[in-house]
Copies of this chain bind each other. A is one copy, B any other.
């Protein structure tokens, strides 16, 4: 797929059982947005091979790049490598290049289980990171990142350098009318310009002084301006409080 979209797969029982407050999904969302890489879907699954395989198959259909978080350590509940390999139809192999790094890193403290860190889907590529002993594991546009937030964030930056930075213009309109009153105008413009995503977000907090926030987005500023022009013409008269 070459649709220019990314997806995130957060792996870990600890997240779904509220043992930790999930942070990597929100961070990934924010960083992708800052670089205008569209996020197609975000899925959180337990440390379960079947669940990961099913989610991965869905995400590979919806996005060009998939970034996973978690499940890449040496313990029994670290099943990401195995599950991703299965989803991609590849064997799990031990990579000599990582094995060397693991041996050098652990030295005297090496256990047979440490070497599991050198297992990867066959054909994986290693993205080296300056100042870090462990590379990012990439396979078929799937990037396998650790779940520990500090490490996830560092490795994500390495991944982001490989994704093209997008372009986006956004306009926002704050309205005094409610959604039922503006729905017809939004329908008309959305139908005429289906390539321009228009979002409608009702607000029930009276202190904010508006009832609906409408967002208009497109890579080309001209398309955004045109949608804003059409909305301004079509919305109930006098309901636009302000624009951004």
Q: How large is the interface on A (under 10, 10 to 19, 20 to 34, 35 or more residues)?
A: 35 or more
Contact of A39 with B by CB under 8 A: yes
In the complex, chain B residues whose CB is within 8 Å of the CB of A180: 74, 106, 109-111, 113-114
CA distance A33 to B14 in the complex (A): 11
What is the oligomeric copy number? 2
A209 interfacial by beta-carbon distance below 8 Å:
no
A sample of 25 cross-chain residue pairs with beta-carbon separation below 8 angstroms, ordered by A number, consists of: A14-B199, A14-B201, A16-B38, A16-B42, A17-B29, A18-B29, A18-B32, A18-B33, A19-B215, A25-B44, A40-B46, A41-B51, A47-B199, A54-B58, A58-B58, A76-B186, A76-B190, A76-B191, A77-B190, A77-B199, A106-B180, A111-B184, A113-B180, A113-B184, A151-B204
Name A residues whose Cβ lies closer than 8 Å to a Cβ of B: 13-22, 25-26, 29-30, 32-33, 38-47, 51, 54-55, 58, 61-62, 73-78, 106, 109-114, 116, 148, 150-151, 178-184, 186-187, 190-191, 197-202, 204, 215, 217
Complex Cα distance A190/B47, Å?
13
Q: Which residues of B contact A182 (CB under 8 A)?
A: 75
Q: B76, A183: Cβ atoms under 8 Å?
A: yes
Compute how far the CA of A110 lies from the CA of B184 in the bound complex, rounded to whole angstroms.
Answer: 13
Q: A77 touches which one: B150, B151, B200 (CB < 8 A)?
A: B200
Q: Find chain B residues with CB under 8 A from A51 CB.
A: 40-41, 62
